[in-house]
Amino acid sequence: MKLLTGNDLKTGFVTWWTGADWSLHIEDAADVGEQGEAILAAEEGARRVNAPYIIKGEATPEGPRPAHIKDRIRALGPTVRPDLTLKPADPAAGDWVI
């Protein structure tokens, strides 16, 4: 199974080719088979998605599943832990200039 994925132009969210358009849900992804390269070229040329590419996948009872762990993690969506993000600057500290 071959899946076509990319990123939404406005939000950057991961998107999946459904056979007719793009979805934010891996469950909607369709096998692009041998037509993958042609679909990729047409969609990239039409600027409907950013940086599309083809990945290997496998059919499961729950729907398509990316074969590689990196793509499975990507399919889950944002994985940034809020407790690890940078804290905003303290406005009371003022500017520090050397």
In the chain, where are the structural domains located? Answer: 2-70
Helices and strands (H, E) in the chain, number of each type: 2, 5
How wide is the angle at C-alpha 72 spanned by C-alphas 42 and 23, nearest 5°?
Answer: 40
Regarding pTM above 0.85, the answer is no
Structure tokens at 70: 């990196």
Q: Where are the alpha helices (DSSP H) in 1-98?
A: 36-45, 69-76
pLDDT band at 76 (very low <50, low <70, confident <90, very high): confident
Residue pLDDT, tens place only, 32-64: 999 999 999 999 888 889 899 999 999 999 999
Decide: helix, strand or coil at residue 33: helix
